[in-house]
């Protein structure tokens, strides 16, 4: 499935009834059948710190974070976001065609997904539709990032950041009986995360669910982009986010995995990126499933961190990087994962240069 190899132990663990993916809340989860999130959530024990916070009605911001926020307010470096996790009807193949071959794709692409959605202050109104990946969280070195999070899915989910600095209570990760409230945000509840873009956190990053039902919500689409820019820097003329990932049957209930870029599969469904000759262009690339992927863009090359000129780069689960160059080559180009099974199962798209 999806170009993956499985060893003998995994097949035996499945007992002939599918491949064992993991165990959540004492229940075995199989890769070839949809997990019942509501049933899994109902069997979860609420961690002690989470239960204590609920009983006390305590604010979801710790004293340490309050001090950080006060300092941020004083120097004006506070960047605040309001983000919900929502259920959304998703179609990974809205045109049901492969734009490369102009053939109909028989794979089904509709399912019930989870997605992050940005809102205006106080969750007053949505900024855009719920999206996969979620809204960009942007900061400059020196900023304090505040994310007000509300969970509107059937089970506890979170926001866990990569790259940026944060204290243990702002990790957004489930840790069993040691879980902080931010690692177990229950349906209908809110939490305020506070992170710091200190020197050394510059880079292309991501955020995703890391709650007690991980990886099922992530396979359903709960992830998004984050970037920390150097202080005083100027963003590129055009920048594009490319998340290489897959929707797995355990999350979709569909028959096969769907290889995707940004929640869509096959050129014409995946994002078509556009730029002009002379533009400073940045492709921000993230891999986020169980596979390694290779980002390749036809007709272009860039300088890697070690100074090597390359046109293909390998990324593993949770990896991220930026390919940046000055555009000088007009035409219709292909960008894709160069793992051939991923490429031909839909992990490809168009890049148009005028």
pLDDT tens-digit profile of 32-89? Answer: 888 888 888 888 899 999 999 988 876 555 555 666 666 666 676 999 999 999 999 9
Highest averaged pLDDT of the listed ranges 106-110, 144-148, 304-308 = 144-148
Any residues with CB less than 8 A from the CB of 107 and at least 6 apart, and which?
93, 254, 256, 258, 265, 346
Same-domain check for residues 38 and 52? no
On whether residue 1 sits in a domain, the answer given is no
Same-domain check for residues 129 and 58? yes
Which segment of 5-19, 99-113, 183-197, 261-275 scores lowest on mean pLDDT? 5-19
Same-domain check for residues 68 and 160? yes
Same-domain check for residues 19 and 139? no
- DSSP calls for 157-214: B--EESSSB--GGGS----GGG--GGG-B-TT-EEEEEEE--TT--EEEEEE--STTT
Report pTM: 0.90
Number of domains in the chain: 2
Is the pLDDT higher at 7 or at 256?
256
Same-domain check for residues 239 and 101? yes
Same-domain check for residues 59 and 18? no
On whether residue 110 sits in a domain, the answer given is yes
pLDDT over 80 (residue 301): yes
Same-domain check for residues 141 and 17? no
Kindly state the average pLDDT of the residues 106-134: 96
Same-domain check for residues 26 and 86? no
Residues of the domain holding 132 = 48-353
Same-domain check for residues 12 and 98? no
Confidence of residue 1 (pLDDT cuts 50, 70, 90): very low
Same-domain check for residues 16 and 75? no
């Amino acid at each position: 499935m999806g170009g993956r190899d499985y060893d003998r132990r995994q097949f035996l663990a499945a007992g002939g009834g599918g491949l064992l993916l993991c165990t959540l809340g004492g229940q075995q989860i199989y890769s070839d059948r949809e997990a019942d999130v509501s049933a899994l959530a109902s069997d979860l024990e609420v961690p002690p710190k989470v239960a204590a916070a609920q009983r006390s009605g305590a604010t979801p911001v710790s004293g340490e974070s309050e001090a950080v926020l006060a300092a941020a307010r004083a120097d004006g470096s506070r960047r605040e976001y309001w983000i919900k996790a929502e259920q959304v009807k998703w179609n990974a193949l809205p045109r049901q065609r492969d734009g490369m071959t102009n053939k109909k794709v028989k794979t089904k692409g509709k399912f019930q997904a989870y997605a992050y959605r940005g809102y205006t202050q106080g969750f007053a109104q949505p900024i855009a539709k719920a999206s996969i990946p979620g809204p960009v969280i942007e900061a400059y070195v020196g900023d304090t990032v505040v994310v007000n999070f509300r969970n509107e899915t059937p089970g506890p989910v979170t926001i866990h950041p990569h790259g940026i600095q944060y204290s243990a209570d702002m990790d957004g990760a489930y840790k069993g009986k040691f879980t902080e409230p931010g690692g177990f945000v229950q349906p209908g509840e809110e939490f305020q995360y506070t992170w710091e873009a200190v020197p050394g956190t510059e880079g292309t990053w991501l955020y995703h669910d890391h709650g007690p039902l991980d990886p099922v919500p992530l396979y359903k689409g709960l992830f998004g982009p984050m970037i920390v820019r150097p202080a005083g820097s100027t963003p590129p003329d055009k920048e594009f986010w490319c998340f290489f990932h897959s929707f797995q049957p355990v999350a979709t209930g569909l028959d096969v995995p769907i290889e995707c870029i940004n929640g869509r599969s096959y050129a014409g469904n995946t994002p078509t990126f556009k730029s002009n000759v002379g533009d400073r262009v940045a492709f921000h690339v993230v891999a986020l499933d169980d596979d390694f992927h290779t980002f390749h863009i036809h007709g272009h090359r860039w300088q890697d961190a070690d100074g090597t000129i390359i046109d293909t780069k390998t990324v593993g689960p949770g990896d991220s990087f930026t390919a940046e160059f000055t555009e000088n080559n007009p035409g219709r180009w292909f960008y894709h994962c160069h793992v051939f099974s991923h490429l031909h199962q839909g992990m490809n798209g168009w890049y148009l240069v005028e």
